[in-house]
Amino acid sequence: MQPVMSRRAREVQPFRAMVFGEQADRMIADGIDVVKLSLGEPDFGAPPAVRDAMREQYDGRALPYTAAMGLPELRRAIADFYQERHGLSIDPKRIVITSGGSAALLLATALTVDSGDEVLIADPSYPCNRELVKSFEGTVVDVPTSAATRFHLTPELVAQYHTDRTKAVMITSPSNPTGTTIDFNVLKSVCDYAREHGMWRIVDETYLDLADREPDGSEVKSVLECDDGAIVCNSFSKFFGMTGWRLGWAVMPDDDDVLKAVDDLATNYYLCAHTPTQHAALACFTKESLDECERRRQELLTRRRIVVDGLKRIGLPVEVEPNGAFYAYFNISSTGLDAWTFCERALAEAHVALTPGRDFGAATADTHVRLSYAASQEALKEGLDRLGRWLPTL
Ligand SMILES: Cc1ncc(COP(=O)(O)O)c(C=O)c1O
């Protein structure tokens, strides 16, 4: 007799972007020319110097575990990166190297959430965070947001949803699926409110270094500029194009008890991040690699223009222009279809793979669709042309 799986295993939600992506792959394998705009994976790959450095790692050396908190040189290199890019002085002891941003979020959740604790999350937002909170028996409080708040939390919303069980706010900026940043003054007010009420602030900055300027023209800033006690999660996957390399980091508050707990959690969960990747990732911080990543960021800005203008042209304008990541989140309710049917039919009839809003929460589940512009300019133009020809047939 098959033993019963845990409740969490029985109830975990699939990541539907993957489901649509897999369906698109099956169609491609059947010889159908599908334009895939469903996955959040940059098409650039790691900078060349990092690939070279990785080759050197496989010269027969032993490759032992590193410390659970990560390779000291890499922690220092990340601290220097904060100094150079964001003007922030971060003690390397606060940086923990993780297996992707995913494991940074896992550590952050494990560190902060107990059974029955409530965590406030903007709806729509990155789906995996909900599953992490549920894994630690926390309660996700989805706070419906809209274009009016750039699809982010505000201090007013946090105050409205705050109860005596609220333990943390989780913010992703720039956001997946909307590609919008939280206005820095709003971020500061949310963090001030949360701190004053004894809540953790967990801020996912996975897309921070891909961001463009704020709508008012100012630089996009890390939460650490306004809240040094926030827990920041970040990744080598997006800005450095290293999705499959599985490397990320978190910046933890400067508190010895917290740092010891993080060390112990990391040791118990995975001992350390992949040793060769940690060594190779040092090459991310050379001038050559950073220049390469900056060129790619500029390329993404060009692609964003193509997508934002293209969606407007075909009658599906984005409500809030993205200024980070590589996503556009647009309202399809004018088509008379719900977002799931829209995506199913776009794939079957126009051969364009997109992601329905249902992945990202309930608030925009039926009305919005995510387009990922981590695809070539040609693919984006073709995808938009196909959608433009298909829409009048609905
Ligand atoms: C907002 C956000 N956070 C975290 C991740 C996790 O990525 P990784 O584990 O590859 O760093 C993703 C991946 O798409 C994401 O979109």
Delineate the domains of the chain, giving CATH numbers in brackets: 7-45+289-393 (3.90.1150.10), 60-286 (3.40.640.10)
Q: What is the mean pLDDT of residues 367-375?
A: 96
Ligand 1 atom nearest the C-alpha of 126 is 1
pLDDT bracket for residue 176 (50, 70, 90): very high
| CB contact at 8 A, 178 and 151 | yes
Report the distance separating Cα 238 and Cα 140, nearest Å.
Answer: 26
Residue 380: name the closest of 317, 321, 336, 326 by CA: 326
61 CA distance to ligand 1 middle (Å): 31
Report the distance separating Cα 41 and Cα 120, nearest Å.
Answer: 27
Residue 143: name the closest of 182, 112, 107 by CA: 182
pLDDT score at 130: 95
Closest residue by Cα to atom 3, ligand 1, is 206
Query: How many other C-beta atoms can be found within 10 angstroms of the C-beta atom of residue 118?
Result: 20
pLDDT bracket for residue 20 (50, 70, 90): confident
For the chain, give the mean pLDDT.
96
pLDDT score at 232: 98
Q: What does the chain come to in residues?
A: 394
DSSP sequence for 218-259: PPP--GGGT-TTSEEEEESSSTT--GGG--EEEE--S-HHHH
| CA dihedral for 255, 261, 264, 268, sign (positive or negative) | negative
Model confidence pLDDT, tens digit, residues 74-118: 999 999 999 999 999 999 999 999 999 999 999 999 999 999 999
Ligand 1 atom nearest the C-alpha of 40 is 14
102 CA distance to ligand 1 middle (Å): 6
Report the distance separating Cα 292 and Cα 27, nearest Å.
Answer: 34
281 CA distance to ligand 1 middle (Å): 17
Intra-chain end-to-end CA distance of the chain, in Å: 49
Calculate the alpha carbon distances from 12 to 8, 128, 331 in Å.
6, 10, 27
Query: How many other C-beta atoms can be found within 10 angstroms of the C-beta atom of residue 347?
Result: 21
Check residue 348 and report its DSSP letter: I
Model confidence pLDDT, tens digit, residues 235-293: 999 999 999 999 999 999 999 999 999 999 999 999 999 999 999 999 999 999 999 99
| CB contact at 8 A, 273 and 103 | yes
| CB contact at 8 A, 322 and 308 | yes
What share of the chain in percent tops pLDDT 90?
92
Q: Is the pLDDT of residue 16 over 80?
A: no
| CB contact at 8 A, 243 and 84 | no
Check residue 143 and report its DSSP letter: E
pLDDT score at 152: 98
Cβ < 6 A, ligand 1 pocket: 40, 100-102, 126, 172, 176, 204, 206, 235, 237, 243, 248
Ligand 1 atom nearest the C-alpha of 236 is 11
pLDDT score at 182: 97
Cis peptide before 72 (omega within 30 of 0): no
pLDDT bracket for residue 19 (50, 70, 90): confident
Which amino acid, 347? L
Q: In what order do the strands lie in the sheet with 139-144?
A: 95-98, 248-251, 231-235, 200-204, 166-172, 118-123, 139-144
Ligand 1 atom nearest the C-alpha of 243 is 10
- Name the strand (E) or helix (H) holding 141: strand 139-144
pLDDT score at 41: 83
The 3-state DSSP class for residue 294 equals helix
What share of the chain in percent tops pLDDT 70?
100
Angle at 202 between CA 236 and CA 232, to 5 degrees: 35
Helix residue ranges per DSSP H, the chain? 7-11, 16-29, 48-57, 72-86, 100-112, 128-135, 155-161, 184-196, 256-270, 275-281, 287-313, 339-345, 377-390
pTM of the shown model: 0.96
101 CA distance to ligand 1 middle (Å): 6
Model confidence pLDDT, tens digit, residues 296-343: 999 999 999 999 999 999 999 899 999 999 999 999 999 999 999 999
Contacts of 114 (CB under 8 A, 6+ apart): 136, 137, 138, 167
pLDDT score at 43: 84
89 CA distance to ligand 1 middle (Å): 25
Q: What is the mean pLDDT of residues 334-363?
A: 95
